[in-house]
Structures are given as C-alpha cells and as structure tokens.
Structure 1
Amino acid sequence: MSTLPSAQTLAPAASSTRGQLNGILFVALFAAAVMRIASVPAISGLGISPLIVGIVAGAIYGNALRHGMPESWAAGVNFSARKLLRIAVAFFGLRVSLQEIAQVGVPGFTVSVLVVVSTLVIGTWAGMKLMKLDRDTALLTAAGSAICGAAAVLAFESTLQSKPHKSAMAVGSVVLFGTLSMFLYPLMLNAGWLHLDTLGAGLFFGGTIHEVAQVVGAASNVSPEATHIATIVKMTRVMLLVPVLLVIGFWINRSRNASAESAAQGKGKIAVPWFALGFLALVVVNSLHVLPDAATSTINTLDTFALTMAMTALGMETRIAQIRQAGPRALATGAILYAWLVGGGLAITIGVERFFG
C-alpha cells in the first residue's frame, strides 16, 4: 500500500524549486541590464553584441560578488547556462532562410564551407598539438572563429558538455579578433591592399569575420551591396552549424565508446544534439514564411534575450583562476586562426571568385 509523501518530504523539494526559479529570475534581470548596457552607442557602435557583454558582466559578478548570492539559486543559473541555451540556439534558426543562402549561390556557399572546415581543422590541430590545449578548449576556440562567434561557442559547449571557463576563453578570442576585423578589413580594402570587387569584399567579410554584428559593422564601411552579400554569406556559415554539430557529436560519441570499450563497458548510442535539429527545422519554417514577419521579429528578440541569459549564466560560472591556466595558449590559438582567416580566407575568396567568375 502506497503512502502520500509527508509535508517534511515535500518542503525541501518546494524550496529547491523556488530557489531554482529565483536563480532564473535573477539571471533574467541581470541579462536585461546587460542588454541595456549593450545598447549604449559606444558599445553597440563597436559591433559588440549583448552576448559578449553578458559573459563579461557575468564573469565579473561570478568572481567578485557571487558569494552574496544564495546557494539555492545556483540551480537556476545552471539551468540558464545549459537547458535554456539549447532552446535559444534552436530558435536561432529563424534568422536564416534558404532563399537568402540561394542569393549568393554556389560561390558564397563554397567560401563558407571551405572556411568553416579548414578553420575547424587548423584550430583543433594547432590548439591540441602546438598549444597543448585540451580537446574541448581547442574545439570551442576553433568553432567561435569558424562559424558564428559566441553563438557557436554556446552550441559547442552544450554538445561537448565542457566547463564554463573554457567557453569564456573561446569567447575572449572572438571579442578580440572579431573587433579587430571591424577596423582592419575596411582599412585594408580602402587602402588598396585587398584587390576585391563588391562581390569579393562581401564574400571575404562574410566568410571570415567572427560575429554577425561584426560582419555588418565592417561591411557597412564599404557599401550597402557588400553589406548585403556579407550578411548572407555569414548566415550561410551559421547554417553550417547543424552539420558540424552532428559530425562533432558523432566523433565525441565514438571517442566515448572507445573509452567505454577499453573499460569493458560496451557501446552507447550516438549522441545527436536535438537543438541542432531544431535549428534546422526552424530554418525551414522561416524559409516557408509560415510565421508573420512581426511574430518572427518578436521571437528573434526574445531569442537574443535568452542567449544573453545563457551567456551571462556561463560568465557567472566562470572562474578567472581556471582561465589563467590556459589563457595565453588559447589566445595564441585564436591568433593562429585569425592569421588563417585573413590570409587563407582571402586566398579562398579570390580562388572561388575566379573559378566561378
């Protein structure tokens, strides 16, 4: 005969749930303040997104003031940094459409694929072999440079289930070198160091700059046409997040299975990141124009807020002492990748434009 749970049993559970909700609310309020800060012209004018501001502000709080936060709120912070970010990454798909990708055609898609694949391979190799970084830190740094900056770092962090400080190091690389691109790229083009036409400039900017906002900021100094092409090429790189995550998930699973086999634990199932499939599904929804434009715009605004919450929570869980251990090596890996994006990315752009021209 079953018995009903006692009041003493229910009380801790109710307290835990209340603590988690308080933690989520705290992160939401913190993220709202972050978005206000990010909207300040001095910051937004540099192409620095709320996601970047969020992880920096969260890290400052987490290392200087977190001792004042009730311990019961930690579950809410962890929820925001893990489960909420998966949902937010999936809804990022509403920013991409198949029609936009078709506008830049085969050249734009080719540049995106070559840049993403080569940057991931070079970044992982350089990080692990040259800089002696662990696999997760090398992959996160490579993903941030190869695909879509902080959003890619978040997606990979979720798939790899890595520590927050590793994501913080990767985001630091995105901030530094992505911001540098905003000033360096237009300068090189206007000074005549880059012999690129409007299409070439759009392909190069969109194919090699880290964040979407940074692409727009840099290309807007060239022309509206170059900005349009660069933005579409950049969103094509974002689209590649799905197949890359599936391949990485399969690779990570094989590694885990190999370890399990050596310990006589047998094989597991292939880990498919569901949020990547959700991302792809919402790209299709956006391409079919099922939702009104106003609804899509509202969802994208809410999604930016959710991503900012996730980034802020990751910052709160980051410890500076952990970053110091690999900080210079992670930054050096980012510098190697940046040199490749500028030199190798330019070579890829010129080669593709000539081949299809």
Structure 2
Amino acid sequence: MASTPPSSARPAWRPGSGAACLARLWPGFALAALLAMAATFVATVHGGPQLLYALFFGIAMHHLSSDPRSQPGIDFCARNVLRLGVALLGARITAAQIAGLGWTTAAVVALGVTSTIALAVPVGRRLGLTGAQSVLSGGAVAICGASAALAISAVLPREKDSDRFTLMVVVTVTVMSTIAMVAYPLVARLLHLPPGLAGLFLGGTIHDVAQVVGAGYMLNHETGDIATVVKLFRVALLTVVVIVVSAAFKRAKQGNGEVAGGAGLAREPLVPWFLWVFMAMVAVNSLGLLVAPAQQTLSAVSRGCLVIAIAALGMKTSFAALAKAGWQPMVLIVAETVWLAGLVLGCVVMMR
C-alpha cells in the first residue's frame, strides 16, 4: 500500500498545479474506468453482477497498482471516488427508511461492534499481542476496516513497530473484507434472506464500506440500500469508539510522554466526510427537494463511481502483501471476522 506523504512535503498551490495533479491521476483513473466499462459491458451482454466483474478484472491487473504512473490514480479511485459514490447513495434513501430499520437492527449492530472489540483483547493476549494492538485490530473489524484502523491508531500509545502493525491490520482486513464481499451474498442467497435481513447481515458484518456496497447491490437494489444504511450506522459509531479508546489509553500515553498518531500514517477524521454528505443527501431527499430526474442522475453517477472504485480496490488487493503481515494479526482478524459474522447471522436467523 502506498503511504500518504506528510502534509509538509506537499507543494503549495500554484498556477498549473491543478493540471499537474490531473495529469498525475489520469493514468490510474483511466485504467480503473476502463475496467469498470468492461465489467459493465460483460454484465449487460451476458448478465451477472457488474461489481463482481469489476472486482475480478481489477485483481487480474494487480501488478499495475505498483506502477508509479498508475498508482496515484488507482489510490484516488479506491479512496476518493469510492467515498463520493457512497455519499451520493444518500439520494436514494429517506429518513423514513432509516427509521424503518428499527431499534432491533441498531441493537444488533451495537452488540456486534462492542462484542468484537471485547473479544479481541483476550484472544490477542493469547496470541502475544499487546492491548493496543488487539483493540486496533478489533476496531478495524468491528467498524469500518482501514479507516477505523487509522483513526484508532491516532489515539493509541506509541509502541515498537506501531506503524508497521497498523499497516498489517489495514492489509489483512482489506483482503478479508474482499473475501467477505464475495462469500456473504452467497450465504444470504443460500438462506433465502429477505432484503431487510440480508442488508442487516451484509452491512453489519463486512468491514469496508466499498465491499458492503458491492455485496449489497450484487443481490438487489433494496438490499444494497439497507446494507449501506446499516454500514454507515456502524461508521457513525467510530466517534464513540475512538473517544472511549482514547480515554482508556490516556494514562499509558501520558506515562510515555507521547503524542497521539504515528509518523507516516494519515490522520483520519473521526467521522468521514462522506458520512456527512450522505446524511445531507438523505435529508434533502426526505424533504422532497430532489426531483426525479436529479435523483436518477445522482444515482447513476453514484453507481459509476462505485464500479470504478471496486475495480481500483481489486487492483490494490495483494495476497503477497498479506503473506508478509505475520500470522498473529491474521489469525486474530479471522477470529474476529468469524465471530462478528456468526453473531449477526445468528441474530438475523432468530429475527426471521
């Protein structure tokens, strides 16, 4: 994974810098867009899930993600284009739909988040990991993958190889989330889950937002909408988790005289910007301020962004990098993933 250069190393804006940035991002963006168009063509002509085709096409082109010409654009698509696509999904959702999820859904999601983080501590201790490493791993699985890992790492005490462990978690949880994106919809189909329960299962268990969206819309639009709302509710819990973690480790950080955050790791806002945009779109749509043509246009743009982002995420998926992450974080993340999936699936089955 490419690391984000520190802000101090970025040149100040100057005339022509916008064009230079566009030229830097264009090769990777064009490649992801080409794969997205190919996936759309295959899905249109032969049928099948458009997003899954985009994922597989991207994985086949993984070697291009390390090319210095295409890497910036691929990273941009996997991060910024993805978040724009998710933010615009709010144009399809109203407050009535969110309220329709009910307190039971909220309780299941909250139980999954808290129990996964709680499970991580004793299991991580048995694997020889520190409390901070265990909490970091548990938070990444419980909430929103890489974004949660970076946000939580910023408030944890500094330890030996802190940055390296965080990057290990990011790589491992991303690959596990990609596997879940393919496998969990099959489980939902096998159990004949209705859209509401399928959306709860997918949105309450898959780690990253992109893979939740991909898995949900592989089934149908209704499941995709519900899964997205459930997932973004999990993302909203990140603020609470970060505050609690910061308070829990405050004494250790003060004892070491440390400043939160690791060198070389990007600081993430506690609540990602796309969540606020998503909520704003939901509010506008709930008030009836979006006419049908505008809603359809925003939905189409959102869909296009998501297909491009999934193709880019496929190109960034490296099984070789996962092999170098070490077996302890891998075993811990697998255990957390299985626990979260089993817990939520068990609740879903009881709710049928």
TM-score bracket, shorter-length normalisation: 0.5 to 0.7
Give the distance between the partners of 2:336 and 2:192, measured in 1 at CA.
20
User: 1:130 offset after TM fit, Å?
Assistant: 3.2
Q: Match of 1:323, as an amino acid?
A: L
Matches within 5 A, 1:311-350: 311-324=310-323, 325=326, 330-347=333-350, 349=351
Match of 1:208 in 2: 201
Match of 1:224 in 2: none
Give the distance between the partners of 1:55 and 1:257, measured in 2 at CA.
41
Judge conservation of contact 1:124–1:142 (CA < 8 Å) in 2: yes
- Summarize the Cα distance change of 1:160–1:175 in structure 2 as closer, same or farther, 3 Å threshold: farther
- Summarize the Cα distance change of 1:277–1:184 in structure 2 as closer, same or farther, 3 Å threshold: same
Q: TM-score, normalised by structure 1?
A: 0.66
Post-superposition CA distance 1:302-349 (Å, at most 9, x none): 1122122223223222321233456666445433333222323334x3
Match of 2:176 in 1: 169
Judge conservation of contact 1:95–1:283 (CA < 8 Å) in 2: yes
| Secondary structure of 2:344 counterpart | helix
Give the distance between the partners of 2:226 and 2:65, measured in 1 at CA.
40
Give the distance between the partners of 2:213 and 2:77, measured in 1 at CA.
23
Post-superposition CA distance 1:233-261 (Å, at most 9, x none): 65652452452243345457668977764
Q: Match of 1:98, as an amino acid?
A: A
User: 1:276 offset after TM fit, Å?
Assistant: 1.6
Select 2:24's aligned residue among 19, 25, 30: 19
Segments of structure 2 that go 5 or more residues without pairing to the other structure are: 1-13, 128-132, 154-166, 204-211, 262-266
Match of 2:191 in 1: 184
- Summarize the Cα distance change of 1:169–1:96 in structure 2 as closer, same or farther, 3 Å threshold: same
- What is the aligned-residue identity percentage? 20
Number of residue pairs matched?
299
Match of 1:82 in 2: 79
Q: Match of 1:246, as an amino acid?
A: T
Judge conservation of contact 1:32–1:305 (CA < 8 Å) in 2: no
Bigger CA radius of gyration: 1
Matches within 5 A, 1:1-357: 17-39=22-44, 43-44=48-49, 50=51, 52-62=52-62, 64=63, 69=67, 71-102=68-99, 104=100, 108-126=101-119, 129-130=122-123, 138-143=138-143, 156=148, 163-164=170-171, 166-185=173-192, 204-210=197-203, 234=227, 236-238=229-231, 240-241=233-234, 243-248=236-241, 250=243, 261-266=254-259, 271-324=270-323, 325=326, 330-347=333-350, 349=351
Post-superposition CA distance 1:26-62 (Å, at most 9, x none): 2222222233344566533xxxx61x44344323311
Segments of structure 1 that go 5 or more residues without pairing to the other structure are: 1-8, 144-151, 187-200, 221-226, 351-357
Judge conservation of contact 1:19–1:72 (CA < 8 Å) in 2: yes
Bigger shift: 108-117 or 239-248?
239-248
User: 1:287 offset after TM fit, Å?
Assistant: 0.8
Judge conservation of contact 1:55–1:168 (CA < 8 Å) in 2: no
User: 1:101 offset after TM fit, Å?
Assistant: 3.4
Q: TM-score, normalised by structure 2?
A: 0.66
- Summarize the Cα distance change of 1:25–1:306 in structure 2 as closer, same or farther, 3 Å threshold: same
Give the distance between the partners of 1:217 and 1:12, measured in 2 at CA.
39
- Summarize the Cα distance change of 1:32–1:260 in structure 2 as closer, same or farther, 3 Å threshold: farther
- Summarize the Cα distance change of 1:281–1:72 in structure 2 as closer, same or farther, 3 Å threshold: same
Give the distance between the partners of 2:314 and 2:349, measured in 1 at CA.
34
What is the root-mean-square deviation of aligned Cα atoms in Å?
A: 4.2
Q: Match of 1:170, as an amino acid?
A: S
Give the distance between the partners of 1:101 and 1:272, measured in 2 at CA.
18
Give the distance between the partners of 2:148 and 2:224, measured in 1 at CA.
22
| Secondary structure of 1:279 counterpart | helix
Give the distance between the partners of 2:28 and 2:217, measured in 1 at CA.
34
| Secondary structure of 2:70 counterpart | helix
Give the distance between the partners of 1:159 and 1:16, measured in 2 at CA.
26
